[in-house]
Structure 1
Amino acid sequence: MFCIGVLTAVIGDVASHFGCTVCINDAITAITFVALGTSVPDFHHGWLCFWFSVAVIGILTALIGDVSSHFGCSVGIPDALTAISLVAMGTSLPDTFASKVSAIQDSTADNSVGNVTGSNAVNVFLGIGIAWSIAALYHAWHGRPFIVPPGNLAFSVTIFCSEALIAIIIIVLRRCDSIGGELGGPQKSKIITSIFFLSLWIFYLVMSTLEVYDVIEGF
C-alpha cells in the first residue's frame, strides 16, 4: 500500500507539472523502463546478459501480443485481422528498430535486410514449427488427428507473397548506378521507395480486411 501511495503521489505530481499526456506516456513505457533497468551485467563474456535480454524481449513480445489480441476482441475485430495488424505491428516493431540501427551504423545493408528476413524465418519455421509439432504430438498421443482450418490464410498469404516478390525486385533494381544500393541513395529515390513500400503494406491490410469481412471473395 505504501508503494501504491508513493506511486500515486509521484504520478499526480508529474501530471500537475507536465500534464496528462506526459503522465500517460510514462505509465505506458514504465514496463519497458523496468525491463531495461533490470538487465544483467556482461558476466561470462556477455552470454548471461544475452540470454536474459532474449528472455525479456520474449516476455515483452508476448505481452504486446496478448494485449493486442484482447483489444481486438474487446472492439470486435476478427482474429484474422488482429493477427495481421495489431499483433504483427507489436511483435515486428523491435525488429524494425533493430534494422534501422543496423542501417545507420553498418557500412552495408546485409545486417539490416538480413534481420528482417531472419526474424521472419524464425517466426515461420521455428515459431509455427515448434507449436505445430507439439500440438501434433499431443493429439497423436491421444489418438486423434491435428487439423487446423486455413480460414483466411490462403488469400492473405497470396497477397503477401506477391508483394514480397515486388519488394525484392525493387531492392534489386536499386543496385543501379544512379542509386547505388538497397538502402539510402538520393533523397528523391529514398522517399519514393519508402512511400511505395508503405503503400504495399496498406494495400495488403485493405485487401485482407475486405476479404475477412466478405466484401470481396477469397480463395
Structure 2
Amino acid sequence: MSLSFILVEPARAANVGAAARALKTMGFNELILVNSSAHQEDEARWVAHGAADILDNIRVVPSLASLREEFDLLIGSTARERGSAKVFLTPDELNGRLQQHEGGKVGLVFGREASGLSNEELNTCDLYTYVPLKNEYPSMNLAQAVMVYCYALSNLDARIGIQQTQAPDAQVQALKAKAEVLLEKLAVTQDDKLRAWLLDGVAQLQSRDCKMAHQLASDLLKHID
C-alpha cells in the first residue's frame, strides 16, 4: 500500500511547508496539491526546513476528480457533520481500517484552510475521517491536521497485512457502481441520506460481505429488469 497526502487548494505557503516537514518527519514522501502553487513561495521552503525534497517532488493537479482513477481509495478529512449518514473515522480508527487494506494507492485528502472540502469533493471520496477535538475553537489549522495524521498513520508499514480481510478496492468500486444502478432503478436517487449511507457502508465491507452484497445486488437487478 502507498499513502499520498493531498491538499486541495492550500492558500498559505507556510502550511504547505509545514505539511512537507510533517511527511518527511514521519516517513511519508508524496504530497500532491490541487490547483495551488503555494509550494513555490519562499516561505514554504523556509518552513519545510529539511524537507526540500518533498517540496521539489510535489505534483500539482487541476482537481480532486482528476485523481479519482489513479487512487483505489480516497479518504476525505473533514469536520464531523451531526446528523450525517456518513461514517466518520478517527485517526486511530482509520489506522485500523488501513491495516486491513489489501494494497493499492490510498490518498488522504485535506480541504482548504477557510472552507474545507466542497460537497462535490467529499462525494468523490470513499471514506471520511475527522479529528475529535476537546473544544470546537480554536480548531487545528491545515498543517496541524496533516501532522496528526502523519503521526497516527506512521506505523502502518509495520502493521499492514496482519489482517487481510478487507474487500479489494476494485471489488468495492464495482459494488458502489452496481448500488448506484440499483438506487436509480428503485427511483430513490433523490434520497441523499439513503444514498450516502448505502455507498459509505459499501466502503466498509470486508471481502466475504462484499461478495455476498454483489450477489444480492445482481439478483435484485435481474428481478427489476
TM-score interval, normalised by the smaller of the two chains: under 0.3
More strand by share: 2
TM-score (ref. length: structure 2): 0.26
Report the TM-score when normalising by structure 1: 0.27
Larger Rg: 1
